[in-house]
Amino acid sequence: MKKILTAVVCSMALTGQAAELHFGNWPDYFPTTLLSKFQKETGIKATLDTYDSDATLLTKLQAGGGSYDVVITGDYYVPILARYGLLTKLDKSRLPNVANIKPEYRHPTFDPNRDYAMPYTIVLTGLSYDSARVPGGRFDDSWKSFFEPVAALRGQVADLDVQEELYMAASWYLGQNECSENPADAKRVLDVLLKQKPYVKVYSNDGPIDRIASKQVVIQQNWNGASVRATKLLPTVRFSYPREGVRLFMDSLVIPAKAKNVAEAYAFVNWMMKPENIAIVSNTLKYDNEIIGADKFMDPALLADPTVVTPPALKARLKPYRTCSPAALTLRSKVWAKLKE
């Protein structure tokens, strides 16, 4: 025992001497090979830690768990984290690869001057379904298929356990503004979700790939990249862009205010904006990115896949992030609490 302990302590002490970086992310959202490539090219030893949701990340950062140097977070949480002073305001002179960002992504609504967030992936939230098990093999591209499943699919539906995802989808299904401050609108959203609840097998934002690929469910509210990966495991899985609206969100790299290895953090964020590096992310996770020239390194099949690169005809269905007022968000939390009771 003592020997093992000594060995462990020694190895920890040794690794502590090299330049290091603590990188936080959701599980299964970063290609493991990329960290060793980073270490090889920069000499910085990066370790990956995972948290299960943005909400958990917020709680940890608020509670002083500031020992992450770089984290990945959704657009929705960038303004919240920034407002509480939990993020480093970026010095762009240390990030020359900012020039690689495609012009249309240089001024995102959640961070208009890119003061805090640098691009990681572009994610769409729509529906995955198993075409082999949908009655008649036909699936209507509407949130109705999800919120009011036909009799044969009741109990075969999985929802993401993410407040904003479900709230937005239900709002659009009703033809409402997701940032509405009108309590009656919120009430209608709750009614849709409560009506769906008996038909929902599970609320979970984890393992959507495995769930539909192993035939646990027929319909999964899902992210497009996860859907592509599920199709690799079960070829009959398809992705649908519901016509009422598909959420388009951008996951970003941010540096927490309390980061310790700031120089390494900048080096990492800048490195991730090189086309050849972000392309590895796209090739592994099957999400598009915001970097000029990355398509040269991306898998041609991926670029041809309408689930990854939205066909022009469907572009009108995409709905990017909008800043909602605290009053609107309070209504959202209330609906969520009532749904989960």
Residue ranges in contact with another protein by CB under 8 A: 1, 4-5, 8-9, 11-12, 22, 24, 27-28, 32, 47-50, 52-53, 55-56, 58-60, 62-69, 80, 83-84, 155, 161-163, 183-184, 186-187, 197, 200-204, 206-207, 209-211, 213-216, 233, 258, 326, 329-331, 333-334, 336-338, 340-341
* CA atoms of 299 and 38, how far apart (whole Å): 21
In this complex, which beta carbon is closest to another protein, that of residue 285 or of residue 294?
285
Q: Give least dist CB 203 to another protein, A.
A: 5
In this complex, which beta carbon is closest to another protein, that of residue 280 or of residue 298?
280
Judge whether 315 and 102 are in contact, CB under 8 Å.
Answer: no
In this complex, which beta carbon is closest to another protein, that of residue 216 or of residue 283?
216
Q: Give least dist CB 56 to another protein, A.
A: 5
Spatial CA neighbour of 160 closest among 190, 205, 195:
205
Q: Give least dist CB 333 to another protein, A.
A: 6
DSSP state for residue 87 in the 8-state scheme: B
Q: Give least dist CB 295 to another protein, A.
A: 28
In this complex, which beta carbon is closest to another protein, that of residue 9 or of residue 301?
9
In this complex, which beta carbon is closest to another protein, that of residue 8 or of residue 301?
8
Q: Give least dist CB 202 to another protein, A.
A: 4
Q: Across-strand partners of 129? A: 219, 238
In angstroms, how far is the first alpha carbon of the chain from the final one? 47
Judge whether 121 and 289 are in contact, CB under 8 Å.
Answer: yes
Q: Give least dist CB 298 to another protein, A.
A: 23
Q: DSSP states of 17-46 as a string?
A: TS-EEEEEE-TT-S-HHHHHHHHHHH--EE
319, two tokens: 């709905």
Q: Give least dist CB 66 to another protein, A.
A: 6
| 215 contact partners, CB below 8 Å, separation of at least 6 | 130, 133, 234
168, two tokens: 């937005």
* CA atoms of 38 and 219, how far apart (whole Å): 38
Q: Give least dist CB 173 to another protein, A.
A: 18
In this complex, which beta carbon is closest to another protein, that of residue 114 or of residue 332?
332
C-alpha distances in Å from residue 99, one per residue of 94, 114, 265, 277, 280: 12, 12, 18, 15, 19
CA dihedral sign of residues 214, 216, 218, 220: negative
Spatial CA neighbour of 257 closest among 23, 59, 68, 47:
68
In this complex, which beta carbon is closest to another protein, that of residue 58 or of residue 309?
58
In this complex, which beta carbon is closest to another protein, that of residue 113 or of residue 330?
330
